[in-house]
Amino acid sequence: MHGTDAVSGGYGVINGFSYGLITPLAAYLMACLGGALGLRCTTRSLLVERSWRPGWLALGATAIGSGIWTMHFIAMMGFSVAGSPLNYDKRITFASLGVAIVMVGIGIFIVGYRGSTPMSLVTGGTITGLGVASMHYLGMAGMRLHGRIEYDTKIVALSVVVAVVAATAALWAAVSIRGFLPAVGASLVMGLAVTGMHYTAMAAVRVRMVGGLGRLGGDEPTTLLAPLLVGPVVFLVLAGVVVMFDPLLVMGNQDWQKPGEVRRPVPAPPRPVWPARPPWEEASYQRER
């Protein structure tokens, strides 16, 4: 992607696709899964009682944040720098997951409680997009290698704009799009936008190599990232089960009816009809009242 020979003081040769298309496709699928579950939960939050809304919004924020974080580090499994191994700082890596969930959560809660007004969408989308970008660059800050990471400022700014636009469009889709197929389409577009933001940001990366081959800090990707990715993936699967077997469906409160379809009200149960009292009992009953 960038660079010259991997010598001290020069720029190292970067490869963002060490495993070909395997890591980009896997990353894209995880971004789509997290986006689909997050959008579904956000839509649910607008259709349930207010007391249930925070739970659905929190589940949606965690799903989107986990999906974006998982996408990032799956894509980073294919990232390499010639002449240097890559390790990751465990605390910073965990912190990047927390930043993703919290920032996405703030944006989703704004839209969940303020509705789809232009102000709430712009505010929520900006916060969510900045959260996605912060997660990416914080995760990059946790990388340990025999070199110093530098960035092209213009491409970094472009990646942040892409993140904000993608997040705003995703929040608009969550509160505006109904129906299964449109929701699937919105999830695919969201996954494409998030993955595109990642690789746009990676295009800004340059690595200036430094002398010395001392021991790197942090953990190797095979010992940190692979086991670490299991948790978010399992969570996304469980969240998918919750969404698919939503108790509201059992109660008959469905939200995917066709546009323009009018729900028929459920008829009230008939009132019981009691047998008439004999005249002598009716007179006694009226005196007692």
Beta bridge partners, 80, equal: 15
Position 99 scores a pLDDT of: 93
Give the residue extent of every domain in the chain: 14-259
CA gap 128, 107 in Å, rounded? 5
Query: In terms of residues, how long is the chain?
Result: 289
pLDDT of residue 8 exceeding 60: no
Mean pLDDT of the chain: 78
Evaluate if residue 174 carries a pLDDT over 90.
no
Q: Are 86 and 144 in contact (CB under 8 A)?
A: yes
- At 182 the pLDDT is 75
Is residue 33 within 8 Å of residue 27, measured between CB atoms? no
User: pTM of the entire structure?
Assistant: 0.76
Higher local confidence (pLDDT), 48 or 252: 48
Share of the chain above pLDDT 70, in %: 71
| 153 torsion bin: left (phi>0), alpha (psi -120 to 50), beta (else) | alpha
Question: Quick one: pLDDT at residue 157?
Answer: 95
Q: Tokens representing 247?
A: 């108790």
